Amino acid sequence: MTQGFRTVSGGRIDRARVLRFSFDGHAYAGVAGDTLASALLANGVHLLGRSFKYHRPRGLLAAGSEEPSALVAVRRDAARYTPNLRATQVELYEGLEAHSQNRWPSLALDFGAVNDLLSPFIPAGFYYKTFMWPRRAWRWLYEPRIRAAAGLGRAPTQPDPDRYASRYAHCDVLVVGAGPAGLAAAAAAVGAGARVILCDEQNELGGSLLSDSSRAAPVIDGRPAARWLDDTLADLAARQVTLLPRTTAFGYFPHNLVALNERLTDHLAIPAALAPRERQWQVRAREVVLATGAIERPLVFPGNDRPGIMLAAAARTWLNRYGVLPGTRAVVVTASDAAYEAALDLQQAGLAIAMIAEVRDAVPAGLADLTRAAGIPVLTGATVLGTSGRRRVQAIRLARIRHGAVSEPKTLRCDLVLMSGGFTPSVHLFSQSRGTLAWDDAVQAFLPAVLAERARSAGACRGVFELARVRSDGAAAGAAAAREATAPGREGVCPAGALGRSVAAAAAGSAEELAGARGFAGALPQPQRARGKAFVDWQNDVTTRDLALATREGFRSIEHIKRYTTTGMATDQGKTSNLNALGVVSGTLGKAIPDMGLTTFRMPYTPVTFGSFAGSARGDLFDPVRTTPMHSWAVKNGAVFEDVGLWKRARHFPCPGEDLHRAVNRECLTVRNACGIFDASTLGKIEVVGKDAVTFMNRLYTNAWSSLAVGRCRYGVLLRDDGFVYDDGVVARMAEDRFHVTTTTGGAPRVLALMEDYLQTEWPDLGVWLTSTTEQWAVIAVQGPTARPVLESLVDIDMSAAAMPHMSVAVGHICGVPMRLFRVSFSGELGFEVNVPADFGAAVWEAISEAGQAHGITPYGTETMHVLRAEKGYIIVGQDTDGTVTPEDAGLGWAIGKNKPDFLGKRSLQRPAMTSADRRQLVGLLTVDPATVLDEGAQVMLEPAAPVPTRPIGHVTSSYYSATLGRSIALALIGGGRSRSGQTLYVPMPQGDVPVQVASPVFYDPKGERLNA
């Protein structure tokens, strides 16, 4: 197919560089500089998609990011399939493959279009009323069907193979929008010495200047606008302004944090292999200049959505920027002056203008002369009664209308209808910044009124439209922003009192300028029995009738009407529909627009890919993977790992042919009968040092620390101020003023933070300081009856029971390496924990492992550690406690220093509810059938097969098979548990209620003789 609608010259395209592409499998040609939309129009293709609900044929309404209808999918390969792209923003490249959406079997013949005929039965909110019965059918029938029928593109099915970059940036002035206002602002700001970032969503910077006609090209600083633009951009680049085309400012967050999404490769035929597809910027700007322009409003009349019916400004862009004639014979319907420019541009390019239907009662004088000279007939006081044409508009019915009385009806043949309802300032980002808007009578629009951030608006987005005034407004904003951003003494923070400032309204423009921009909001007047759908929201298929229905059903708040009808709730954020919806509702309720209020604008301004948000945080980089110094040894020796927080910990070390269960049984028996070696490096460690260290420990932990001698260890319990167990661990006193505190693996950061918090805010008078040593030490636990002989040959310390009793610590060397040796046990066996500086961990581990061969040593993992400690009734904070467990509940009452005047949580423990006898207490459970292993988390009941509903009296917290005991064991928190010893309770499991007997939580060596060996 040829580009039959391409002009011979003009536009910002390169006719010599032909690009081939396909749409729905048909081959077409476009040229460099085209978008998919402009290239299709050049080929005479206007039918680009089917609408969301009624499957109506749709074309292009707009030429920019506000396009609501022409959503397409672009496919590069099986994994690179991007749905719901606005055809107006898809830059053409050689070989581009695009597909239409929401149609079956084809775009031209779409069975879903039956919805259009059924529309009387599916008005707004129909799904709230229609699919109510039977209720159960909602889940398996109605919702899946509605979801399948609704929606536009389909999601890609394969993982995204592309790379996404991220960047933080800081600047004095961020300018959003590179039209005449933004360019002037950036130039003024950099001229004042500010660091400036200028971004724009389009592929070229220039905004409205890119669509200027050659017929009436503006002159700026004595140069044609196009040359001025080139010069200005070169100048900004030379002055180190960061220029970001293809970059959408999509979100405005507190403290002038603006999120930008930069599209890097989607416009390239063959992107570089490793290049990121997009880059998300988080810009922290001292000052922001919003120069986001204005969007032309469609007019609301029956049949206003047919392909070939578009905004007047869009038609100008097709012609002047892309060299495309969007039709052959046009009718212009307008309530603003801008459409006249479009009509004159198109007529000069050879397109026939059949008529201008002017909604206003009179044509502004200057324009009347121009149209008369051009020979274009004008109908004033006009309305549109309807249009016809299935896949492209073929005719339009115009008339004059007064108080519902129609006169001079006429039907005009045409293949293009241009409409202009005036311009709506783009206040999305300003609104996102929590700035408040106010209705401006002069401009007939909502404009920025009260600031919530260090921001200012310039140009059309605050109701200034005339080019010269736009430029001076931009320059003033840029200069003021630079002045405030670089003021002496200004740090990055907002000066007090800066926010909540009211914005001075732009000095009112000429009456001509304002009249030209104002236009019309709402539905064009219609006779009593008007037919056909008049669309307000193209993307969500919301018509005037839906809005009227909502008001008839009693909705009054615009927020409710929005949600009931879904108007303005599509991905286009109501860019073309919000003000018209307000106008329609305002007309129906007889309430002025400013009294109706405006709904909130939300981010993103235009849709952003998930990849952009994820950045590099996927796969191995999703989160840091923390490994210990002995990790490589564990990998080499076949460890199976589990994730514990960010750590990889060896869970078990299976021998060939062993599953988890067998490996754990073997590891447990080996530790009980010989010796095991275990990597405990992930435990948190905090060095608490200072003259007041013992006072600090006394205030924080429940235990009495004053009586702990240097060289001895104690099991410490840490509560929150509400009295519940927060963390636990062994604490060693290394010197009078120095404690080596250990915490749980997961608790390390929060315990340090809690300690630091108390020191800084409650007890700044204490002479004590904290240093995390978690990663300074590699910790190698050697546990079991033969642990002593394994280590004795390697260390320079007397390890005898007399010299190193249970819960003692010594400083010495192992194989010449400095060491802190703890005699502690989390297994119930004789045990030691070797602490060496981390870089020595691997070598020392290997040396111990080697020395242990003669003593039957085996490496064991976290699963075995869990079983061994459960056999002894040692709790794991976070597994056997859940933030509602007191030390007494957990059987740790003995760890409370009864004579201490205070400790963190002490007062809470004295509340009656905390000492009640029926609190859930930690007990052991023994299943009547020793082979049955209970599910962790299972509920515990008083009676078997209790009728529902019933109340459990507790739950299972830990449950294992114990090879040592030859039976299952479990720990549970049971209401009044310790008084139920011997009682039979019932645990509902998938196979039925399992009878269990309440027992002591210490299943093995209750006297602790093995510990003290």
Contacts with another protein by CB under 8 A lie at 163-170, 195, 274-276, 279, 282, 284, 492, 616-617, 620-621, 623-629, 632, 646-647, 687, 689-692, 767-777, 793-794, 796, 814-817, 837-844, 847
CB of 90 to another protein, least distance (A): 23
CB of 769 to another protein, least distance (A): 4
Instruction: Using the minimum distance from each CB to another protein, give the nearer residue, 330 or 844.
Output: 844
Report the C-alpha gap between 799 and 910 in whole angstroms: 42
CB of 236 to another protein, least distance (A): 18
Report the C-alpha gap between 275 and 770 in whole angstroms: 44
Report the C-alpha gap between 179 and 736 in whole angstroms: 70
CB of 743 to another protein, least distance (A): 15
CB of 252 to another protein, least distance (A): 17
Report the C-alpha gap between 40 and 44 in whole angstroms: 6
Cβ pair 861, 682 in contact under 8 A: no
Alpha-helix runs per DSSP H in 163-289: 180-191, 225-238
Instruction: Using the minimum distance from each CB to another protein, give the nearer residue, 538 or 777.
Output: 777
CB of 146 to another protein, least distance (A): 39
3-class DSSP assignment, residue 37: helix
Instruction: Using the minimum distance from each CB to another protein, give the nearer residue, 719 or 768.
Output: 768
Sole residue written with tokens 């399992």? 994
CB of 248 to another protein, least distance (A): 18
Instruction: Using the minimum distance from each CB to another protein, give the nearer residue, 484 or 541.
Output: 484
Sole residue written with tokens 């994994």? 79
Report the C-alpha gap between 885 and 760 in whole angstroms: 28
Instruction: Using the minimum distance from each CB to another protein, give the nearer residue, 466 or 687.
Output: 687
CB of 628 to another protein, least distance (A): 7
Alpha carbons within 13 angstroms on the beta-carbon side of residue 737 total 8
Instruction: Using the minimum distance from each CB to another protein, give the nearer residue, 77 or 620.
Output: 620
The alpha carbons of the chain give a radius of gyration, in whole angstroms, of 38
Instruction: Using the minimum distance from each CB to another protein, give the nearer residue, 682 or 702.
Output: 682
Tokens of 983: 């009682």
H/E element, 957: strand 954-962
Instruction: Using the minimum distance from each CB to another protein, give the nearer residue, 283 or 925.
Output: 283
Q: Which amino acid is at 605?
A: Y
Instruction: Using the minimum distance from each CB to another protein, give the nearer residue, 820 or 920.
Output: 820
Number of helices (H), then strands (E), belonging to the chain: the values are 27, 49
CB of 481 to another protein, least distance (A): 17
CB of 692 to another protein, least distance (A): 8
H/E element, 463: none
Kindly write down the DSSP assignment for every residue of 785-838, as one continuous string: TTHHHHHHTTBSS--STTTS-SSEEEEEEETTEEEEEEE--SSSSSEEEEEEEG
Task: Give the chain's largest Cα–Cα span.
Answer: 115
**Which residues neighbour 992 within 8 Å (Cβ) at sequence distance 6 or greater?**
none
Q: Measured in Å, how far apart are the chain's first and last C-alpha atoms?
A: 92
Instruction: Using the minimum distance from each CB to another protein, give the nearer residue, 777 or 826.
Output: 777
3-class DSSP assignment, residue 315: helix
Cα dist from 47 to 69, 485, 515, whole Å: 10, 49, 34
CB of 842 to another protein, least distance (A): 5
Instruction: Using the minimum distance from each CB to another protein, give the nearer residue, 164 or 318.
Output: 164
3-class DSSP assignment, residue 298: coil
Report the C-alpha gap between 708 and 702 in whole angstroms: 13
CB of 120 to another protein, least distance (A): 53
Instruction: Using the minimum distance from each CB to another protein, give the nearer residue, 254 or 492.
Output: 492
Report the C-alpha gap between 702 and 897 in whole angstroms: 6
| Cα 533 off chain centre by | 36
Tokens of 526: 């219609």
Contacts 24+ apart (CB under 8 A), 542-548: 542/124, 542/566, 542/567, 542/577, 542/581, 544/300, 544/584, 545/123, 546/123, 546/124, 547/124, 547/581, 547/584, 547/585, 547/588, 548/584, 548/588
Cα dist from 33 to 3, 177, 210, 659, whole Å: 14, 20, 12, 63
CB of 717 to another protein, least distance (A): 24
3-class DSSP assignment, residue 550: helix
CA-based torsion, 788, 789, 791, 795: positive or negative? positive
- Tell me the β-bridge partners of 401: 406
CB of 932 to another protein, least distance (A): 40
CB of 834 to another protein, least distance (A): 12
Instruction: Using the minimum distance from each CB to another protein, give the nearer residue, 615 or 976.
Output: 615
Instruction: Using the minimum distance from each CB to another protein, give the nearer residue, 575 or 820.
Output: 820
CB of 815 to another protein, least distance (A): 4
CB of 615 to another protein, least distance (A): 8
Q: How many CB atoms lie within 10 A of CB 951?
A: 9
As to burial, measured by CB atoms within 10 angstroms (0-12 exposed, 13-18 middle, 19+ buried), residue 815 is middle
CB of 768 to another protein, least distance (A): 8
Instruction: Using the minimum distance from each CB to another protein, give the nearer residue, 327 or 841.
Output: 841
| Cα 694 off chain centre by | 46
Instruction: Using the minimum distance from each CB to another protein, give the nearer residue, 734 or 1002.
Output: 734
Instruction: Using the minimum distance from each CB to another protein, give the nearer residue, 576 or 681.
Output: 681
**Which residues neighbour 354 within 8 Å (Cβ) at sequence distance 6 or greater?**
329, 330, 331, 377, 412, 413, 414
CA-based torsion, 731, 907, 875, 827: positive or negative? positive
Instruction: Using the minimum distance from each CB to another protein, give the nearer residue, 847 or 1013.
Output: 847
